[in-house]
Amino acid sequence: MTDFEQLYEHHARDVYRFALYLSGDRAVAEDITSETFVRVWTAPARVELATVRAYLLTIARNLYLHGLRRQRRRTEMPEALPDPAPGPHEEAAGREEMELVMAALRQLPEVDRAALLMRAEDGLSYAEIAVALGVSEAAAKVKVHRARLKLACLRRI
């Protein structure tokens, strides 16, 4: 790892967005993001630059899953996540679409949702997704493909 501040500035938004999509709660996403970078800062091993994004998302996902295990029950994501900057017209037009997408995402199993978000939102390769989820590259491809199909079917309903 060359410079922690540069690493944080480059990846914090991606980690936060990933954590927000997983948890559906801004406060939880902020906590996961902070804890992710604390763990990177205190890690005894050097982070390889080629895998840093997958490494950060893996830490964030593990923190999210750990939080779920602590709660011993799954909490529902809020119906609508407010968009911080749109005007009233954009907000009205985008709210219904966002509600449909979030409702469809909540119906996917966590591992499928994580694989799809890593691919679609964060642009990770299937190899990076496989490492992050602890599955084979072929399984990562299948998870992303099936999650896309399920999401498309759920959005049509």
Instruction: Name the pLDDT band for 1 (thresholds 50, 70, 90).
Output: very low
Two structure tokens written together for 143 = 């998870």
Q: How many residues are listed for the chain in this entry?
A: 157
Instruction: Name the pLDDT band for 30 (thresholds 50, 70, 90).
Output: very high
Q: 117 or 93: whose pLDDT is higher?
A: 117
Instruction: Name the pLDDT band for 16 (thresholds 50, 70, 90).
Output: very high
pLDDT in tens, 46-93: 766 667 888 888 889 998 888 877 776 655 667 776 656 667 777 677
Average pLDDT, the chain: 82
Contact in structure between 2 and 11 (CB atoms under 8 Å)? no
Say if domain 87-157 classifies as CATH 3.30.1450.10.
Answer: no
Percent of residues, the chain, with pLDDT higher than 90: 26
- What's the pLDDT score for residue 15? 92
What lies within 8 Å, CB to CB, of 139 at 6+ separation is: 130, 133
Q: What is the mean pLDDT of residues 35-55?
A: 80
Using CA atoms, how far apart are residues 138 and 53, in angstroms rounded to an integer?
20
Does 1-75 match 87-157 in CATH topology?
A: no
DSSP for residue 55: H
Q: Does pTM top 0.75 for this prediction?
A: no
- Four-way CATH pick for 1-75: 2.60.120.20, 1.10.1740.10, 2.60.40.10, 1.10.3210.10: 1.10.1740.10
Q: What is the mean pLDDT of residues 30-40?
A: 90
Using CA atoms, how far apart are residues 147 and 98, in angstroms rounded to an integer?
17
Rounded to 5°, the CA angle 44-64-86 comes to: 115
Domain ranges of the chain: 1-75, 87-157
> Is the four-CA dihedral 116, 121, 122, 124 of positive or negative sign?
positive
Describe the crossing of helices 52-71 and 126-133 by its angle, rounded to 10 degrees: 40
